[in-house]
Amino acid sequence: MNLLEGKKGIIFGALNDMSIAWKTAETCHRMGADIVLTNAPVAMRMGEIHKLAEQCGNAPVIPADATSVEDLKALFEGAMDHFGGKVDFVLHSIGMSPNVRKGKHYTGLNYNYLEKTLDVSAISLHKTLQTAMELDAISEWGSVVGLSYIAAQRTFPDYGDMADAKSLLESIARSFGYHYGVKNKVRINTISQSPTVTTAGSGVKGFDEFVSYSEAMSPLGNADGQACADYCATLFSDLTRYVTMQNLFHDGGFSHTGVSMEVISKFAKEEGA
């Protein structure tokens, strides 16, 4: 399927082959896109991204800390050099909370860590968009996608300050989506993805139980990383040109299910026992 033939995109956040960004890069390449890969310089020490680059037609890898405007500027300039023109799509697949990593409870946050959480996981989207706009780096009808989680709308106690980061991420997508739409018809959306087994996902306490709960609550079951990659590809394509400023649930129906028979029957068994 050549849905992305001729498109040029930057993909942030491919750490290893479990990463949603990794699967999205493979999928976009398979669908005909030309890709530039990027990640934080520290994340590249493992060197796995170079394997992905090879698989994606020797895609250039340009390191960038997404909290550094200077790095982002060099990234967009490098990508435009490589493409010989503007960028058609960007995947922002970045998340990290030092509070969650260090097991800090939501009621006992370290505020320096909180600033880092918000900067890495949400404000980096604003920095990416502002840098792109200043360089006029994204083509008309271009598409930018960030990855979110339903903890932005509902409380999941162990998700900690990442919930606040996701709320901010979704808000930035909406607010910048307005301005970039008016200025250059660039669309900006977030995908609110099911819990997915990746390095970032597994950092959340009780993650395995949580994946099982979510699976039991979703009529279609949890959407996996590959399904998320496929959904990203549709948003990068011309088939979704009028979708912008949205938070799009990609979760097998979880977000709109009050309770499932599978979960209810578990309680019935426990009470009957």
Ligand X SMILES: NC(=O)c1ccc[n+]([C@@H]2O[C@H](COP(=O)([O-])OP(=O)(O)OC[C@H]3O[C@@H](n4cnc5c(N)ncnc54)[C@H](O)[C@@H]3O)[C@@H](O)[C@H]2O)c1
Interface ranges with ligand X (CB under 6 A): 12-13, 15, 19-21, 39-40, 43, 65-67, 93-96, 120, 147-149, 193, 195-196, 198-201
Sign of the Cα torsion 171, 12, 194, 187 reads positive
CA angle, 18 as apex, 199 and 170 as ends, to 5°?
70
CB of 60 to ligand X, least distance (A): 16
Alpha helices in the chain (DSSP H): 20-30, 48-55, 69-83, 98-101, 111-118, 124-134, 162-184, 199-202, 207-217, 225-236, 261-272
Task: Name the residue nearer to ligand X (CB basis): 139 or 198.
Answer: 198
Among candidates 149, 152, 163, which has minimal Cα distance to 100?
163
What's the CA gap between 232 and 35, in Å, rounded? 14
CB of 37 to ligand X, least distance (A): 10
Task: Name the residue nearer to ligand X (CB basis): 33 or 123.
Answer: 123
Task: Name the residue nearer to ligand X (CB basis): 175 or 255.
Answer: 255
What's the CA gap between 25 and 159, in Å, rounded? 27
Task: Name the residue nearer to ligand X (CB basis): 25 or 137.
Answer: 25
DSSP annotation of 28 reads H
CB of 223 to ligand X, least distance (A): 9
For residue 138, list its beta bridge partners. 87
Asked if 3 contacts 235 with a C-beta cutoff of 8 angstroms, the reply is: no
CB of 26 to ligand X, least distance (A): 13
Task: Name the residue nearer to ligand X (CB basis): 222 or 244.
Answer: 222
CB of 183 to ligand X, least distance (A): 25
Asked if 106 contacts 97 with a C-beta cutoff of 8 angstroms, the reply is: no
Task: Name the residue nearer to ligand X (CB basis): 139 or 170.
Answer: 170
What's the CA gap between 50 and 56, in Å, rounded? 10
Task: Name the residue nearer to ligand X (CB basis): 2 or 199.
Answer: 199
CB of 174 to ligand X, least distance (A): 17
CB of 123 to ligand X, least distance (A): 11
